[in-house]
Amino acid sequence: MPRIPDRQRIAQDIRDKISSGEYGPGFKLPSLREMSAHYGVSAEPVRSALLILQAEGLIEGHQGKGVYVTGNHPAVD
């Protein structure tokens, strides 16, 4: 069975947390360094995962302030 790339695995985990409401609208995501440590990867796969989620409209970055969950998604029961 093929291994899922780290960026996709991380994006899916964050997507699941957003869908479940664990990360609600306006929630500030952990720092790149914190997420890298949590997922056991370098910063690049985390950065790539965040770009995927940003393209999907689930998160938005604010330079110097962090990355936040948008309100552009339905909660999944």
**Three state DSSP letters for 21-45:** CCCCCCCECCCHHHHHHHHCCCHHH
Domain residue limits, the chain: 6-69
Q: What pLDDT, in 10s, does the model give residues 19-75?
A: 999 999 999 999 999 999 999 999 999 999 999 999 999 999 988 899 999 987 655
Pairing assessment for the beta strands 66-69 and 59-62 based on DSSP bridges: antiparallel
The correct answer on CATH 3.40.50.2300 for the domain covering 6-69 is: no
pLDDT of residue 2: 83
pTM of the model: 0.88
